[in-house]
Structures are given as structure tokens and as C-alpha cells.
Structure 1
Amino acid sequence: MATVLHSAPRFTLIDGLKDTLSGALGEMLVEAKEEHGELLLSVQRDRLEDALRLLRDDHGYQQLVEIAGVDYPGRPERFEVVYMLLSLTKNSRIMVKVTASETTPVPTATTLWPNAGWLEREVFDLYGVVFAGNMDLRRILTDYGFEGHPFRKDFPLTGYVELRYSEEEQRVVYEPVELAQDLRQFDFMSPWEGADYVLPGDEKAHTPPVDEAKTTDSPKDTGAGAKTDAKADEKVSADAPAEEKTGEDRTPAPEPTEDRPDRPERKGDAKDTSAATEPKDKD
């Protein structure tokens, strides 16, 4: 059988990949696990740059696709920074993550991938994670003078300030949030929202069962009997127009007109209609 060559790279199976990369990372690795068909590697925060360089240079994960943040307020180090790497030559994706607190800096990845500068600015803007070594760590998605980090779980839904255009000052001004009315919860009668009233149809949900079931001892209690059976045999369509006459006394259908001898013969020949359908030439 001839070997079929394809231009696409061979897909790297996840089986055995965890053992290979775990052995390569060595003491830099904190945990390695497979979730949803993907390999997730947790590494030490101080050794992040070394781990990413090893995966890029020695194992072919050339591209940094994304940097994402996750917030777990109940943990001592509440933030997780996740790096998503792609190998074009092996057609493989892996994720590398580290943990950090509000005051713990994470080593920058701009020394390995230039696009990490923009991605780290997003995580800094939305979560407040500081990246040591990033020379341009500024907000990138929120406005100038924005207070707080909107992707933190403890950030209020209404924010701290609101902006509007002031006709008096002829510029955009920031003011503390003032709600014109109390914040209302619209559940739209949805049981998933936990409605605090009885939904239609649920008023009998907690009705206790009857103490004694009702039974019938004779047919007369149920309305059954000979009279009821005779009534049931009556046709529903009685006295309808279709029941008034039988097939014998109905008016017969007329004879076909083609069989009538007194019908005059047709004039002309209808076999060739081309002469009748073609337009006549005007003189």
C-alpha cells in the first residue's frame, strides 16, 4: 500500500503527553492533569518564564494564543493566570497556569512573545494582576481614571462611578453612582430565579391527599346502565344531510356530453394548433 502524504501536521495525541512534559518540567511543575481532553500544567510562579521557554524551544509550542485570568476570592492566592500555547508543527494545544494574589507579581512573558504585552495589560486591567518586567503595564479596555477591576468577583455590578457629558462644563465628567430607584430583580416567573411567590399551577403542589378515596358500588352511581348504552349506540350524525337520503333516491349524475347523439359535431380540427397559436402577420 502506498503511503499517503498530507500537508497538514500530524495531530499529537494527548495520551502520553502528560508524562513527557511533566518529566521535562521537573521541579518547576506543581501539578499536571487532563481535563475535557486538554492538558493543564500548573507551574511555580517564580519559574514561569523558564517553563514557558522550555515548552517553546524544546517541545515546539511556538505560539502564545491567549492569556486569561480567573478569580477565586476564597483562596489565599485568589487569581489564576492561564497561558494557552499552540504548537503548529505538532498540531497540539496545552495550558499553563500560575497562581497569584493581589500583591504578588507574576513574571512577564514579553521576553518570549511580544504579543504577551497586550494580553498582560488585559489581565491587569480586568483583574489587577501585576506582571513584573512589563514595561508598558497600563489599562487597555477601561477608560482613563477607571476605579477598580471589573472582572473581580467582588466588583459591584453598578460600578463605583458613572460618566456623563456635562453641558455646563462642556466635557465628560465622572460622578458617584446614584440609582434613580432601588435595584429590582426581574425573575419573569422563572423557577430558576427563585421566585418568592407561588407560580401558576403550583398552588396545589402542597395539597395533602384525601383521607379516603371515593368508590362506586353500583352502576347507577357512575351513570352507566342499559339506557346509557342505548344512547351510546345512536349515531352522532343522525338527522344530518348525509343521512336524509340513501343512494337509491338520490338524483343520478347526468350523462356525459360526449355520448349525447343530439350534440352537434365540432367544427375544425384540433389536432394541430400551431396555426391558431402563432401570431398572424400584419399587412
Structure 2
Amino acid sequence: MSTSLEELSVYLRESRGDWIAEAELAWGELNIITTAENYIALLTFLRDDERCQFISFVDLCGVDYPERALRFEVVTHLLSPKHNTRIRIKLACGEDDTVPSATAVYYGADWFEREAYDMYGILFSGHPDLRRLLTDYGFEGFPLRKDFPTTGYVEVRYDDTVKRVVYEPVQLRQEFRNFDFLSPWEGTDYVLPGDEKKSQ
């Protein structure tokens, strides 16, 4: 499999090298790094070229790297059933950048792009219906960003007195605890039966 991927990597660099910033084999898969300007053209070529035929759209997801200048990565996975080959396309984008929507090439990218927008705030230009998919209508923020608080900003509950769903600021009801590791509930300072074997 790796020889066919190496041949494909060479073919892509020779035929469409201006669209590819980097091509690497990692963990038995071919990774192609491109830019937003070349993204749609590259996807179209990978789908239509006789040597590629990546006609099956598998997945699209976002990745957050807050330490990078271009914080997000859009990662697309494609499959060529004819050649039994998978490929991964990556492109980096900033918080305010837009990525061209892949729905013009693969209509199945629709909900995947909506999820990436909903969870990370990645904007896709030309998407037919870019709105939140998994979070509530009035949700603020993007929950899979690394800087999003694990408690969230608001909590939602049904209030039986007003007979509707209410949104309230998050209140942490438990204060910071100091753990007593000598407590039998936290851990022991004596050897439990069977633990003596671990030092042998």
C-alpha cells in the first residue's frame, strides 16, 4: 500500500504541485497540505482525475491549535474505492479567515462543515446553509476551542414554575476541595493485600 501512496504522492506533486504546499506519508496514509485558494481546485482534481478517483467523501473536521498564527486546521478525508486508497487534505486558517465550502464538489460535506462551524467557529464561504448544528439556537461561543471553559457560559434547564426552558449563568455549587490522600477514600498509606507483588 505504501508504494502506491508514494507513487500517488509523486504523481500529485508532478501534475498539481502548485496546489500542494506539502505531501507526506505518515502512519501509512498520504497527507496533502494545501491553501484555501487551491482547496476546491485540488478536491475537484482528486475526484475527477482517472489516476485518483477519490469519489467518496468520508469526513471533514476542525482542529484547534491556539499557539499557531493560523489557529485552525480543516482536515478532509477522501476515499478512492476503485484504487482502495485514502487521502487526507489539510489546510490552515485563522479565526477570521473563510474556507471555501467543499459542498460544490462533495455535497456530503454539508453537515460536516456545519459541525466545524458550530464547534470551532470556522467559516465556510459558499455553504448553502451555514448555521449551528449541535448546539442550541442562542448558544454563545464554540465549545471545542481549547480556550472554551469546560463549564460553559450558561446552563439550560426546564423551570416548572414558569413552564419553559430557562438560561442562567453557570454557578459552580462546590467550592475548591483539598484532597486528603491519607483518607481511606482517597488512598492508603498501607499495603493492600496483593499490592506487595508490584514491587517484585
- Tell me which interval the TM-score lies in, with the shorter structure as reference length: 0.7 to 0.9
* RMSD value, Cα: 2.6
| Residue 40, structure 1, aligned to residue 31, structure 2 | yes
Which digits, 9 at most, give the CA deviation of each residue in 1:164-188, with x for residues without a partner?
1112221001110001112559898
Paired residue secondary structure (1:17)? helix
**2:189 partner letter:** P
What 5-or-longer segments of structure 1 have no aligned partner? Answer: 1-9, 190-196, 202-283
Identical residues among aligned pairs (%) = 46
Equivalent residue, structure 1, for 2:110:
117
Distance 1:118 1:17 in 2: 29
Distance 1:41 1:34 in 2: 9
Distance 2:48 2:179 in 1: 53
| Residue 22, structure 1, aligned to residue 13, structure 2 | yes
Corresponding residue pairs, total: 186
Equivalent residue, structure 1, for 2:146:
153
**1:178 partner letter:** Q
Equivalent position to 2:4, from 5, 10, 13: 13
Alignment of 1:71-86 (within 5 A): 71-86=64-79
Equivalent residue, structure 1, for 2:195:
none
Distance 1:70 1:54 in 2: 24
Which digits, 9 at most, give the CA deviation of each residue in 1:187-218, with x for residues without a partner?
989xxxxxxx99737xxxxxxxxxxxxxxxxx
CA 1:177 to 1:115, structure 2 compared with 1: closer, same or farther past 3 Å? same
Contact 1:68 1:81 (8 Å CA) reproduced? yes
CA 1:164 to 1:42, structure 2 compared with 1: closer, same or farther past 3 Å? same
Equivalent residue, structure 2, for 1:91:
84
Name the TM-score, length of structure 2 as normaliser: 0.85
Offset at 1:20? Answer: 1.3
Paired residue secondary structure (2:91)? strand
Paired residue secondary structure (2:175)? coil
Offset at 1:15? Answer: 3.1
**2:140 partner letter:** E
Equivalent residue, structure 2, for 1:245:
none
Equivalent residue, structure 2, for 1:63:
56
Offset at 1:114? Answer: 1.1
What 5-or-longer segments of structure 2 have no aligned partner? Answer: 191-200
Larger radius of gyration: 1
Contact 1:84 1:95 (8 Å CA) reproduced? yes
- More RCO (CA 8 Å, sep 6+): 2
Equivalent residue, structure 1, for 2:193:
none
CA 1:184 to 1:120, structure 2 compared with 1: closer, same or farther past 3 Å? farther
Divergent runs of 4+, >4 A:
183-189
Distance 2:112 2:180 in 1: 37
